Chain A
Amino acid sequence: MTAMSAMKISLGPVLYYWPRATLLDFYAQAAGWPVDSLYLGETVCSKRRALRTVEWIDLAREISQTGKQAVLSTLTLIEAESELSTLARLCDNGDVLVEANDMAAVHLLSEKRLPFAVGPAINVYNTRSLHYLQRLGLMRWTAPMELPRMTLAAILEEADDLGFGERFETEIFAFGHMPLAYSARCFTARANNQPKDGCEFECLKYPDGLAVYTQDDERLLTLNGIQTQSGDVLNLIPEWKDMQALGVQLLRISPQSQHMREIIDHTHAALRRGALPDLSAFIEGAGCNGYWFGQAGHLQMESERSMP
């Protein structure tokens, strides 16, 4: 790693099922926000078709023309041939960078010798895996949610020692409900007593997912179709200086239905001033950051680094 570069902000793919008008409006606004990269596309469920694949690609091109980087993010759990066809269309788009969320995408992109990014559902837990993917074309990775800081630091240090540390960027999923698991079963349909094949698009009712509580009323999970997310909101933004020192280049903020503009603005202003943003007004409950410190993901740890 050479001189520390300025920390960039990325807007992750919208993980929930928002109606078409909401999505288009969101990206029309986001194009004016102080973010460097925007991820687009449906990463959770192929039945969600608010935008057709070609429309996602067109939207990504439009955003690219505003000077921001657009990235097309692919489906995470791929089972059907129709899903592979959609994947092929995304990978064949011609000019927009693709984020692979399944090894099928890595396969198609590396075969075409295209540079690619990998999302947090691609299991990179060590330097050898990262190096292997880098040689296949990886130019950016977002670390798995549960990867501890200590492991990330070791990977980035080894990457430098092996001489490939400058050939990729590191992104950290830093804000939002964490995607934790994927299943064949749709839990949102189940919660509404619908079969998956006739789900009536129940996900549309939950723009921030469906909250799950323990029987003693602790927020535990967030159901988002076949994806299960953390109940608590991850907030690692206060760790940004430490991340920057480790060699992290991008902070990913995961879209939610409320306060996005404020969250981005606060974060951007703090990065510019070298300060710590206070996002607590936008987080229900205590938030969480345990994974970063090698602890249970739902815990909120005090950090010396993040003390103002």
Chain B
Amino acid sequence: MELVAPAGNLPSLKAAIDNGADAVYIGMRNDTNARHFPGLNFEESNLAKAVFYAHVAGAKAFLAINTYPQPQGWARWQRAVDVADDAGFDALIVADMGVMEYAASRHPNLRLHLSVQASATNRHALGLYQQQFGIRRAVLPRVLSLEQVTRLAKHSPVDLEVFAFGSLCIMVEGRCQLSSYATGKSPNLCGACSPAEFVAWHSTADGLESRLNGLLMDRFPAGTVTGYPVICKGRFRAADSVYHVIEEPTSLNTIELLPLLAKAGIKAIKIEGRQRGTAYVAQVTRIWRAALDALSTQKDAFTVRHEWAESLAGISEGAHTTLGAYHRPWQ
């Protein structure tokens, strides 16, 4: 299985590759990708340098152009596709049909991967994108159980890539408008979920309050661990109790599923986190490289080493991890 690692800048890209990533994925410094955060991502003039570094090391470079252009901004997405081809990327990660059509017709040799933001969760949806735009690989939303992933891999018309580690979207990616409901900005509209400019923290008599565009996401008694205020990890009242109505702050970690994912024929595993720092990218990539190498030599005897589990837990959101939807009872 191919290890696909995130990079929000050139140092992270180097860290990912130096620590054993088979491929890196990056985005441009605008709203054409779903991690459109201030200070993150690559200037157009740096794209070729990024690709060059990957290629010299024998790794691949993917460019995420995985948001949904609106007519006013179309030129940026078109430009992104054009420069990606010039820069020599191995694949584009795309979500919008208009972008796919443009790429497939103008740059027929450019390999297309279906982004998780396109929300394809079944073989007929995948088949449509394969037939219409010639996509070669799809990244699956984090909503399928392991059994469903295994079954889909058997019947999928394209290679599959799944999320292995990182922040956990509880909702089907590309089909979540909770962020824009609170703030007016969302991954689909502008490439960001719950942007930092809408986040506020207040000390009150009831503890530390986190708000998203004025809406109270949570209250933390002194001394408790706080989480970034997003609706899907907030604590609210429903049916007379106050609890994490959607999900606790937690991260996805599937390292124990590696043998089963390999057996299912999953082509690539993806690490989330282009917004993370270089040290994080280096550490996570190193552990997953070691795990994949161990898997290829030990096969069925593969076990998760204690130090991997400990390191991954230590850098996870909320300091604990879950198998998420892969594990049916989670659902």
Which A residues have a C-beta under 8 Å from some C-beta of B? 76-81, 83-84, 87, 102-108, 110, 121, 123, 125-129, 131-133, 136, 144-146, 150-151, 154-155, 158, 178, 180-187, 190-192, 195-197, 210-218, 220-221, 223, 228, 230, 290-291, 294-298
Whether the Cβ atoms of B237 and A213 lie closer than 8 Å is yes
Which residue on chain B has the smallest CB distance to residue A133? B97
Give Cα A183 to B330, complex, Å.
Answer: 11
Separation of A187 and B236 alpha carbons in the complex (Å): 13
Q: How far is the CA of A265 from the CA of B239 in the complex (A)?
A: 33
Report Cα–Cα, A295/B98, bound state, in Å: 25
Contacts of A221 in B (CB 8 A): 178, 231, 236, 245
Residues of A within 8 A of B235 (CB): 215
Q: Can you give 20 contacting A-B residue pairs, CB < 8 Å?
A: A77-B143, A79-B145, A79-B148, A104-B128, A108-B124, A126-B74, A132-B97, A144-B188, A145-B177, A181-B178, A184-B142, A185-B246, A186-B331, A196-B328, A213-B237, A215-B218, A215-B236, A221-B178, A296-B180, A296-B184
Residues from chain B with a CB closer than 8 A to the CB of A123 are 68, 95-96, 118-119, 174-175, 188
- Tell me which residues across on chain B come within 8 A of A216, comparing CB atoms: 216
> Which residues of B244-276 are within 8 A (CB) of A?
245-247
Q: Please provide the chain B residues from 158 to 212 with a CB less than 8 Å away from any CB of chain A in the complex.
A: 170-172, 174-178, 180-184, 186, 188-189
Q: Which A residues are in CB contact (< 8 Å) with B97?
A: 128-129, 132-133
CB pair B143–A181 under 8 Å, yes or no, is no
Indicate if the CB atoms of B182 and A213 lie closer than 8 Å.
Answer: no
Residue of A nearest to B185 (CB): A296
Kindly provide the distance from the CB of A30 to the nearest chain B CB, expressed in whole angstroms: 27
From A103, A196, A298, contact of B181 by CB (8 A) = A298
The distance in angstroms between the C-alpha atoms of A105 and B124, with both chains bound, is 8
A102-B95 Cα distance, complex, nearest whole Å = 14
Q: Does B309 contact A (CB under 8 A)?
A: no
A183 to B102, CA, bound (A): 30
Contact between B71 and A181, CB atoms less than 8 A apart: no
What distance in Å separates the Cβ of B174 from its nearest Cβ neighbour in chain A?
6
Contact A214/B68 with A184-B144, A197-B328 known, Cβ cut-off 8 Å: no
Q: Nearest-CB distance from B49 to chain A (Å)?
A: 31
Is B279 on the interface with A (CB-CB < 8 A)?
no
User: In the complex the two chains form, what is the Cα distance from A125 to B184 in whole Å?
Assistant: 15
Smallest CB-CB A-B distances: 6 pairs = A128-B98, A104-B124, A184-B143, A125-B68, A107-B128, A297-B181
**A296 CA / B186 CA spacing, docked (Å):** 10
Scoring B151, B188, B245 by chain A CB atoms within 10 A of each residue's CB, the highest score goes to: B245
B304 sits at the interface (CB 8 A): no
A189: min CB distance to chain B, Å? 9
B238, A213: Cβ atoms under 8 Å? yes
Name the one of A76, A154, A298 contacting B71, with C-beta atoms under 8 angstroms.
Answer: A154
- Contact check: which of A150, A196, A295 meets B331 at CB < 8 Å? A196
Taken residue by residue from 90 to 131, chain B's Cβ proximity to chain A (1 for < 8 Å, 0 otherwise) reads as: 000001111101100000000000000011111111011101
Give Cα A307 to B72, complex, Å: 28
Give the chain B neighbours of A129 by CB distance below 8 A.
Answer: 68, 96-98
User: What's the Cα separation between A221 and B246 when bound, in Å?
Assistant: 11
Q: How far is the CA of A121 from the CA of B174 in the complex (A)?
A: 9
Residue of A nearest to B155 (CB): A81
Contact with A228, one of B142, B171, B331 (Cβ below 8 angstroms)? B171
The answer to whether B325 has its CB under 8 Å from any CB of chain A is yes
B32-74 vs A, CB cutoff 8 Å, 1 = contact: the mask equals: 0000000000000000000000000000000000001111101
Bound CA span A32–B328, Å:
44
**Contact of B236 with A298 in the complex, beta carbons under 8 Å:** no
Interface contact A182-B172, CB-CB below 8 Å: yes
CB distance from A261 to the nearest CB of B (A): 29
Residues in chain A near residue B223, CB distance under 8 A: none
Set of chain A residues within 8 Å of B171, measured between Cβ atoms: 181-183, 228
Interface string of B224-246 (1 = CB under 8 A from A): 00000001101111110010011
**Given A79-B122, A228-B171, also A298-B182 (CB < 8 A):** yes
A127, A181, A291: the one contacting B172 at CB < 8 Å is A181
B213 within 8 A of A: yes
Chain A residues near B129 (CB, 8 Å)? 103
